[in-house]
Amino acid sequence: MTTITHEPLRDNLGMGARVRGVTQASLQDDAVRAQLNELFELRGLLIFEDVEPSPAMQVAISTVFGPLKDHPSKATPRVGGDDMLGVIEIRHRPNSGGRVRIGDQVMSQWLPWHFDHCYNDALNRAGVLRSVEIPPEGGMTGFVDGIALYEAISSDVREQIADKTIMYAMDVILGDLRYGRPVDFAEVEASPESKAVMEEFADRPRALHPAVWTRRSGEKVLHVSPWMAKGIDGLDDNEGDALLKIVCDEIVDAARDLSYFHQWKPTDMLIWDNWRCLHSVSGMPAEYGRCMHRTTIAGDYGLGRFETVTT
């Protein structure tokens, strides 16, 4: 008999749970798999503690929640052989490129609030992360719940954005970040992969996703990614820009209280609901290394599409 235990991440958060007792053996148990899926649907972010730190374990945990999906960018390195399909490596080598400045702090690995694959029509169900090289300082992964964000933003903005559709395009040039941009922000040096990624995605149409959507369980989710947002469908550029700016500023403000930043341990893995949560990465000093392994769980919420381009 396998016992999985769990507890809320923080008393005042509807999102997140710490989960213990997960092993490759326990994951064979159908009752455990069902329990984890139910908990994931309820909490949107599960942090598995004291798990075997291996790609095989990451695949075992990931496939509880759905089939793996390969990463859409060919420029992203893969880990292991065919049986580890879908485990990608996100590595920062000490003092390599990819630096931003916020105020007087220069850092690597900083990423703004976003949901994954917003530049795509289909939205992956979830991502699973493990840190295989942990910097002594910074490099935390942040999460904020779209259900809580929907409740937290001001009522007039909520009303204005409720029926809007946001346009997105792949954009890894952080210097061009327009929405949710920190005060006194600059890109010091683009990441080494950014050029190849931008070239690969140059000819793709923009993707459209609703700003707010309703879960099967009835909660409304504010699901706007400040990163890679390009405008609001049906509004002219100025109007769309002004509303997007207000919404994204409110998201960033609300996230100060509502977010959870995970400080990694080598035996942690976590899964987040990409249809519900936004995530981000805190920066870290460039002289440290950091390496994350990541899988993507396939699926789609069925509300995204590509823009129809008329010629």
116 binds Fe ion (CB under 5 A): yes
Structure tokens at 23: 């092993």
- Which window, 42-50, 89-97, 112-120, 249-257, contacts Fe ion (CB under 5 A)? 112-120
DSSP 276-297: TEEEEE--B-TTS-EEEEEEEE
CB of 299 to Fe ion, least distance (A): 16
Q: Residue count of the chain, please give it.
A: 311
CB of 294 to Fe ion, least distance (A): 8
CB of 268 to Fe ion, least distance (A): 17
The closest of 278, 292, 282 to 88, measured between CA atoms, is: 292
CB of 111 to Fe ion, least distance (A): 7
DSSP 167-183: EE-----GGG--SSPPT
CB of 115 to Fe ion, least distance (A): 7
- Which window, 60-68, 79-87, 110-118, 154-162, contacts Fe ion (CB under 5 A)? 110-118
CB of 26 to Fe ion, least distance (A): 28
Cβ closer to Fe ion: 71 or 164?
71
Cβ closer to Fe ion: 32 or 260?
260
Cβ closer to Fe ion: 139 or 240?
139
Cβ closer to Fe ion: 116 or 250?
116
Cβ closer to Fe ion: 6 or 114?
114
Residues 232 and 217: their CA atoms lie apart, in Å, by: 27
Cβ(226)–Cβ(115) below 8 Å: no
Helix (H) or strand (E) holding 200: helix 194-200
Q: How many other β-carbons are positioned within 10 Å of the β-carbon of residue 176?
A: 9
CB of 239 to Fe ion, least distance (A): 29
Count of residues binding Fe ion (CB under 5 A)? 1
Cβ(59)–Cβ(86) below 8 Å: yes
- Which window, 19-27, 114-122, 149-157, 223-231, contacts Fe ion (CB under 5 A)? 114-122
Pattern 148-187, Fe ion, x by CB under 5 A: ----------------------------------------
Residues 44 and 275: their CA atoms lie apart, in Å, by: 9
Site for Fe ion in 121-150 (CB under 5 A): none
Cβ(277)–Cβ(143) below 8 Å: yes
Place of tokens 């700003």: 211
- Closest-by-Cβ residue to Fe ion is 116
Residue 302 burial by Cβ neighbours in a 10 Å radius (0-12, 13-18, 19+) = exposed
Residues 286 and 113: their CA atoms lie apart, in Å, by: 20
- Which window, 85-93, 109-117, 228-236, 268-276, contacts Fe ion (CB under 5 A)? 109-117
Give the residues lining the site for Fe ion (CB under 5 A): 116
